[in-house]
Chain A
Amino acid sequence: MASGMWTAAAGAVAQAQNLDVIANNLANSDTGAFKKDTPTFKEYLSTVERIHGPGDIPRGAIKDKDLYPLDGRDESYVVMDGTHTSYRQGHLRVTQSQFDVAMDGPGFLEVNTPQGVRFTRQGSLKVASDGRLVTADGNPILAAESVGVAPKSLDLASRFINLRDRGGHIVINGQGEIFSGETLVTRLSVAEFRDLSQLHKIGGQLFENKNPANRVSPEHTLVRQGLLESSNVNPIEEMTNMIKANRLFETDLKALKTYGELLGKEANEVGKL
């Protein structure tokens, strides 16, 4: 009987983890281009985890219950199975700033960080003191690889975007081409992915792509200058989920408490004369 207690405890732990995810989503409800996480839960059956052996073959005449075995299925637990990042686009807010770009579509900007190439949709760009186009963290934004130059060149420094002495007004068009006056300076490197779920969130609105084959050329993304993408967290949804997590947690604790009381009765009252 005490095994049911662990089922209730597993439920409480899963709901507590659920609240951790909700807390992070709500904390980032105003973080530009933040992508919310949604936890999913999995039923964990002890029978499925157990290897069936010859001992499971019924001896003697086969009865009804052998056809519908309950072995272990009455003891199902719950685990948090995964956090899915929702890549739904946040709404685009007008800022009028010439170095603010929003990705309208599924694309990401390519950023060079000390740990390697990362991707971001947070397009609040800055110009560093040496004229390089960087993110707020100071990581340089990369330009698209130019056709003809040795492809997949490892020399990322050659792809830094330098706006030194370009001064004045910078125009970025839908394809990510940066113009200074009439001259085309370079083109922003926009990346799209075949399977967004393979991206790894690393904080700072940056994502890591561990599978190079996953990256595809941008076809559905429009770069919009003077706009910024907001967080895609919907506070109403998160607050509702939070209330739900809170109540489910309490229910699990109630079950746990009931088991505790039953065990207490077992120990103290059963067998009392």
Chain B
Amino acid sequence: MIRALSAAATGLEAQQAKIENIANDLANVNTDGYKRSTTEFQDLMYETLKEPGGSLGANSQSPVGVQIGMGVKVGASHKNFEPGPAKMTYNPYDFMIDGPGFFPVQTPQGEVAYTRAGAFHVDSQGILQLSNGSKMIPQIVVPSNALNVAVNPSGEVRVSLPGAAEAILGQIQLVNFQNEQGLLAMGDGLYKVSLASGSPILGIPGENGMGGIHQGALEGSNVNVANSMVDMITTQRAYEMGTKVMGVADQMLSATVNIK
């Protein structure tokens, strides 16, 4: 019965972790470039009270054993990189990746990070950067007298200057990963490379399976509100059932204590 109590407790812990992830997903339902998380559960080890297949006598074996499980744990919690819906913003510095890929950026702390939230801005020097100050790699500087900035699907940034022909400002590069689910989420829509993700594979947009660039659009959050709400309901009920099991185990223990 103590096993029942602790198995129920592991259930509460796991369901709580899932609710926390769902809460974070629902809070980010309008965050551009946000990727929803998936929580996967695994059953814990089993205590084998009786080995299946044990001998019961000549030529007979017990067909089943007695195995009692210890409960559940969160086996994995990872981001789901399914594409989000496109949102037209008509802002020349908003870029959406149509397909796989991440923009490499350098954070103000000097670290290299990767993002799919391509809402770029220019600072006072004309350097293309995210709202948190992370600069695009390679650095692209838009001249102050630029009239029109155009980015084509393969990532070439062209600018027209007064009284001059169109000039190429730079080339936007994308990176991809062998295992994007292994990336570490840093917040601010940024991801960091980890041992599990593999090293970044650099590429040109639209080539070798990389997505193309769409100027004037942003990728919306890929949270599906209906699915998240259904998940929330089932998780809450599973949590409640765990507490019920705890209550019953407690009742049985108290009945045992009060027998005399």
* Chain A residues close to B by CB (< 8 Å): 12, 15-17, 19-32, 34, 37, 39-40, 80-85, 96-97, 122, 124, 126-131, 136-137, 164, 167-168, 197-198, 200-205, 210, 235, 238-239, 242-243, 245-246, 249-250, 253, 256-257, 260
The verdict on B109 contacting chain A, using a C-beta distance below 8 Å, is: no
Across the interface, name the chain B residue whose C-beta is closest to A40.
Answer: B64
Supplied contacts A24-B71, A200-B52, 13 more A-B pairs, CB within 8 Å: A19-B249, A23-B3, A23-B4, A26-B238, A27-B8, A27-B14, A27-B72, A82-B50, A82-B63, A97-B82, A124-B76, A204-B42, A249-B255
B contact residues vs A (CB 8 Å cutoff): 1, 3-5, 7-8, 10-11, 14-15, 18, 40-46, 49-50, 52-53, 62-72, 75-76, 78, 80, 82, 100, 176-179, 181-182, 195-199, 208-209, 234-235, 237-238, 241-242, 244-245, 248-249, 251-252, 255-256, 259-260
* Contact yes or no, A203 B198, CB < 8 A: no
A26 near B11 with CB under 8 A, answer: yes
Chain B nearest CB from A87 CB (Å) reads: 12
Question: Do the beta carbons of A126 and B82 come within 8 Å of each other?
Answer: no
In the complex, which residues of chain A have a beta carbon less than 8 angstroms from the beta carbon of B251?
246
Contact A28 B69 (CB under 8 A): yes
Q: Shortest CB–CB separation between residue A166 and chain B, in angstroms?
A: 10
Decide if A250 touches B209 in the complex (CB within 8 Å).
Answer: no
Contacts A19-B252, A129-B198, A198-B52 known; A27 to B242 CB distance under 8 Å?
Answer: yes
> In the complex the two chains form, what is the Cα distance from A12 to B259 in whole Å?
12
Contact of B252 among A29, A83, A129, A246 (CB under 8 A): A246
Establish whether residues A136 and B178, one from each chain, have CB atoms under 8 Å apart when the complex forms.
no
**Minimal Cβ-Cβ distance residue in A for B68:** A20
Query: Does the CB pair A27–B7 fall under 8 Å?
Result: yes
Identify which of B43, B66, B237 gathers the most chain A CB atoms within 10 Å of its CB.
B43
Chain B min CB distance to A251 (Å): 10
CA gap between A242 and B4 in the complex, in Å = 11
Q: Which B residues touch A122, using CB under 8 A?
A: 42
Q: Which residues of B contact A168 (CB under 8 A)?
A: 100, 209
Q: How far is the CA of A44 from the CA of B72 in the complex (A)?
A: 33
Contact A96 B82, beta carbon cutoff 8 Å: yes
Q: Is the CB of A136 within 8 A of B249?
A: no
- Interface contact B260-A203, CB-CB below 8 Å: no
- Which of B52, B75, B209 contacts A137, CB < 8 Å? B75
Closest beta carbon of chain A to B56's beta carbon, Å: 11
Chain A residue with the shortest CB-CB distance to B13: A27
Q: Does B43 lie within 8 Å of A31, measured CB to CB?
A: yes
Question: A29-B241, A129-B178, A253-B256 are known contacts. Are A20 and B4 too (CB-CB below 8 A)?
Answer: yes
Inter-chain CA distance A16–B4, complex, in Å, is 8
Return chain B residues, CB-CB under 8 Å to A40. Answer: 64
Shortest CB distance B134–A (Å): 24
Return 20 A-B CB contacts under 8 Å, by A number: A15-B252, A20-B4, A20-B7, A23-B3, A23-B11, A24-B69, A27-B10, A30-B234, A31-B72, A40-B64, A83-B66, A83-B67, A127-B178, A131-B198, A137-B75, A201-B69, A235-B237, A235-B238, A249-B252, A249-B255
Closest residue of A by beta carbon distance from B260: A260
Say which residue of B46, B64, B69, B78 sits within 8 Å of A197 (CB atoms).
B64
Provide the main secondary structure of the chain B interface. Answer: mixed
Q: What chain B residues lie within 8 Å of A126 (beta carbons)? A: 76, 78, 179, 181-182
Contact in complex: B62, A253 (CB < 8 Å): no
A149–B82 alpha-carbon span in the complex (Å): 38
Across the interface, which residues of A come within 8 angstroms of B244, CB to CB? 239, 242
CA distance A260 to B198 in the complex (A): 68
- Which A residues touch B196, using CB under 8 A? 128-129
Per CB-CB distance, the 5 closest pairs between chain A and chain B, nearest first, are: A27-B11, A129-B198, A24-B69, A82-B64, A23-B4
A129 touches B179 (CB 8 A): yes
A28–B72 CB distance below 8 A: yes
User: Do residues A37 and B42 form an inter-chain contact, with CB atoms below 8 A?
Assistant: no
A29-B241, A31-B42 known; A19 vs B259 contact (CB < 8 Å): no
With a cutoff of 8 Å between Cβ atoms, the chain B residues found around residue A30 in the complex are 15, 18, 41, 234-235, 238
